[in-house]
Amino acid sequence: MKRTYLGEFEEIVLLTVAVLDGQAYGVALTHEIIEQTGRSVRLNQIHAALQRLEDKGMVKSEMGEPTAERGGRRKRLFSVTAYGRRTLQEIQEVRASLWHRMPNPLNPAMSL
């Protein structure tokens, strides 16, 4: 396969990391994803996904500032790497071209 396989959940996490633009960390990502998708997401799932993404080289991370509600602990801030960005673009392109080639586009208004 040309590129590393990216799961659907991973893709969402990666996109959210891109959306949050430098302010992405465990709790923020969880809340954002819950808000945007309505799924019930658990912290540990986010952490596992981030770990996988980091292993694949799509995100990179650094330790941020400590805050009081974290009990003085630092947070790990994630950002999308160039490779991650390109992967997202490729997925977008593949989807766009597939949508484009659909002879009978799934238009809800028309299907009725």
* Site membership for another protein, residue 63 (CB under 8 A): yes
Distance CA 27, CA 37 (A): 15
* Site membership for another protein, residue 68 (CB under 8 A): yes
* Site membership for another protein, residue 67 (CB under 8 A): yes
* Site membership for another protein, residue 44 (CB under 8 A): yes
* Residue range at the interface with another protein (CB under 8 A); choices 1-9, 44-52, 84-92, 101-109: 44-52
Residue from 5, 21, 69, 101 binding another protein (CB under 8 A):
69
* Site membership for another protein, residue 42 (CB under 8 A): yes
Instruction: Enter the tokens of residue 63.
Output: 């330790």
Residue ranges that bind another protein, judged by CB under 8 A: 25-27, 30-31, 42-45, 47-48, 55, 63, 66-76
